[in-house]
Amino acid sequence: MAWVAAQPAVTSVILGARTAEQLTDNLGAGSLTLGSDEIATLSVVSEPQISDYPYGTAGTSQRFRKIEGGR
């Protein structure tokens, strides 16, 4: 949560706690200050992984196939 709050485009963070312990942990992130190395590391591991999900190679060849017929 501290990393999310440190992102330039983020103006607020939504807490999602189901237990009092989780709420305490979430609220603690408000006073946590990450260093620039920590932010950089978390940014690298948080980059989206674009894959061929859900169809793999066979599916990607069908993405732009012209569909003919039908109803």
pLDDT value at residue 68:
76
Reading the chain (71 residues) residue by residue, the pLDDT tens digits are 889 989 988 888 888 899 999 999 989 888 999 999 999 999 999 988 777 666 677 776 776 777 776 66
SS3 category, 29: helix
Q: Residue 57's pLDDT is what?
A: 72
Q: What is the CA radius of gyration of the chain?
A: 20
What's the rounded Cα separation, in Å, for the pair 71 and 51? 32
- Do 2 and 32 touch, CB atoms closer than 8 A? yes
Q: Model-level pTM?
A: 0.58
In 1-71, which residue ranges form alpha helices assigned H by DSSP?
2-5, 20-28, 36-45, 56-60
Residue-level pLDDT at 48: 83
